[in-house]
Amino acid sequence: MTNLAVDLPGLKLKNPIMPASGCFGFGREYSEFYDLSKLGAVIMKAATGSERFGNNTPRVAETASGMLNAIGLQNPGVEKIIETEVPYLANYDIPIIANVAGSTIEEYELVAKTFNQTDQVHALELNISCPNVKEGGIQFGTDPDMAANVTKKVKKVSDLPIYVKLSPNVSDIVAMAKAVEAAGADGLTMINTLSGMQIHLPNKHPLLANKTGGLSGPAIKPVAIRMIYEVKQHVSIPVIGMGGISNAEDVLEFLLAGASAVAVGTANFQNPFICPEIIEELPAVLKKYGFNSVQDAIGKGIVV
């Protein structure tokens, strides 16, 4: 029997698969396709201090082996999320990770503090890497000192374990990871989307109303693998890996690179059943490559 369980700060995962923030809403839509209790965990859509409408449409564009999105952190605000969405997800037997976004340190603190008041959230994902909002936190995600500062401040106001979501739009990902680890982060989630653009030939202008968007999907998987591989050689906190995962082989690749668990994003759009299907396929894939458990495979790909 292959053991899929993984223990991470604040998160007892029965398997290492969870839907990524922003690709799964607050779970309601996908609960019509399958029992969400099958998941390892769930990461909710980003929460900000108050309600946000987001960007104009078009907000998505397909690219080669991926897509661009510029939703713009649309959400009903942290209080509404705690009131209506968290209790819904709490009906399922899964740890809930809340994605915390903001445009100022004070907003991050406010959102984190508010989530701290409910006992139904198990961990926070600190979103310092949304590329689609001018004030969406990306400024915190590209400067190690600012990233460390916001991590420290949020850590002070919340008892929950904090996973900092790193942006790939930096030249030195290791410096970012080390800075937030030193500031008290309990884990990392990586990678967020890569900043990109598509020009629409018929009107000769950027297709997305926001002009730029975040690139996700299989196209970015090698970038994610490389960054996790590099980061894991320099930090000891666990990594939840993400970026273009669409099957169980991809999951094993992330585990080998050093991720302890993974999040599946864009692939949910093509196949709403992708998460439970990967969970079902994972034992056979682990076995095929000689592993008896998820734990066995973590970091085994790192060549020193």
Partner 1 sequence: MIKKEEMLIKSVKSIALDTIEMVLNNRYISRAAVPGQFLHVDIQGHTLRRPISIADVDKSEETVTILFKIMGSGTKHLSAYQTGMTFSVLGPSGNGFNIDNREAKSVLLIGGGIGVPPLYYLGKRLAEEGREIISVLGFQSAESVFYEQKFQELGESFIVTNDGSYGDKGFVTNVLGKVKDFDCYYSCGPSPMLKAITERLEHKHGYISLEERMGCGVGACFACVIPTDTSGGYKKICKDGPVFSSREVTL
Strands, DSSP E only, in the chain?
A: 6-8, 11-13, 17-19, 42-43, 60-63, 66-69, 96-100, 123-127, 162-165, 187-190, 194-197, 199-200, 205-206, 212-216, 239-242, 261-264
Residues 6+ away with beta carbon under 8 Å from 13: 5, 6, 7, 40, 41, 95, 261
Residue type, 230: E
Binding mask 217-256 for partner 1 (x = CB under 8 A): xx--------------------------------------
73-92 residues near partner 1, rule: CB under 8 A: 74
Stretch that binds partner 1, among 1-9, 28-36, 78-86, 125-133 (CB under 8 A): 28-36
- What is the Cα–Cα distance from 236 to 223, expressed in whole angstroms? 20
Residue with structure tokens 């309601």?
28
Residue closer to partner 1, measured from CB, 19 or 187: 19
Q: Which stretch binds partner 1 (CB under 8 A): 47-55, 83-91, 281-289, 290-298?
A: 47-55
21 is in an annotated binding site: yes
- Binding pattern for the stretch 264-293 against partner 1, x by CB under 8 A and - elsewhere: --x-xxxxxx--------------------
Q: Which amino acid is at 106?
A: E
Q: Single out the residue of 17, 31, 33 nearest to residue 282, CA to CA.
A: 17
Question: What is the binding site for partner 1 (CB under 8 A)?
Answer: 22-25, 28-30, 32-33, 45, 51, 53-54, 57-63, 65-67, 69, 71, 74, 217-218, 266, 268-273
Annotated binding residues for FMN, written as ranges, equal 21, 45-46, 99, 127, 165, 191, 217, 243-244, 265-266
Annotated binding residues, written as ranges, equal 21, 45-46, 69-73, 99, 127, 165, 191-193, 217, 243-244, 265-266
